[in-house]
Amino acid sequence: MKSRLFLWFNIAYIAENCITLGDSLFIAFHISLQILIVPYYLLPCLFLITLTARVGLMHIGVFILLLLSGERNFGVRLNKPYTVTLPMDIPVFSGTHADLLIIVFHKIITTGHQRLQPLFDCLLTILVNVSPYLKTLSMVSSTKLLHFLEAFSTPWFLLSSQSNHHLVFFLLEIFNNIIQYQFDGKK
């Protein structure tokens, strides 16, 4: 319980500093610490999936990641190996921070509350932003991306909302970026 409260206060503190420091200082500081902070942004998101009263904190965490994903250095640093062990309810994998990002986003989208559905566009936009810089993907994260494509391209999902076709477009753009920008490394 203490770790959950600490993580929630950490997100609130970071959001407050984003407003007071300005975007450029905030981005530069957090990109320099990216290897340390990505798991700590994602851990509260996993705890917040089931708490409908804390959906606002989930939005703040996702928007901070969206802000960071627009920077090239953030995408490049996601290729560092993920070796931290945190108490997350995710499948065991060996890979990079990008793999962790994909796996946690899959967990948020597939098991999250209905009030998190507006975040689907933001979560996939984060993946689109970093996808040109991804050099490798683990089998687990690759399977999660294919599961997204399978789930979002079903007729009942596409016809359930006017904007659901954008999610398929984002996924196709992710696959295109991974293939196009890392073609030489994918032999």
**Selected residue with higher pLDDT from 13 and 83:** 83
Burial class (CB in 10 A: 0-12, 13-18, 19+), 58: buried
Helices (H), ranges, the chain: 2-21, 23-32, 34-48, 55-69, 72-77, 97-111, 120-130, 139-152, 155-160, 165-181
Q: What is the Cα gyration radius of the chain? A: 16
Domain ranges of the chain: 2-181
Query: Across the chain, what does the average pLDDT equal?
Result: 76
Give the dihedral of Cα atoms 55, 115, 177, 85; nearest 10 deg.
Answer: 40
Q: Which residue has the higher pLDDT, 44 or 94?
A: 94
pLDDT tier at 8, thresholds 50, 70, 90: very low
Q: Nearest CA to 122 among 34, 45, 175?
A: 45
Contacts of 174 (CB under 8 A, 6+ apart): 124, 127, 128, 131, 145
| Residue pLDDT, tens place only, 94-141 | 888 889 889 888 988 888 777 778 889 999 999 999 999 999 999 999
Higher pLDDT, 140 or 37: 140
Separation between Cα atoms, residue 139 and residue 99, nearest integer Å: 9
* pTM greater than the 0.75 cutoff: yes
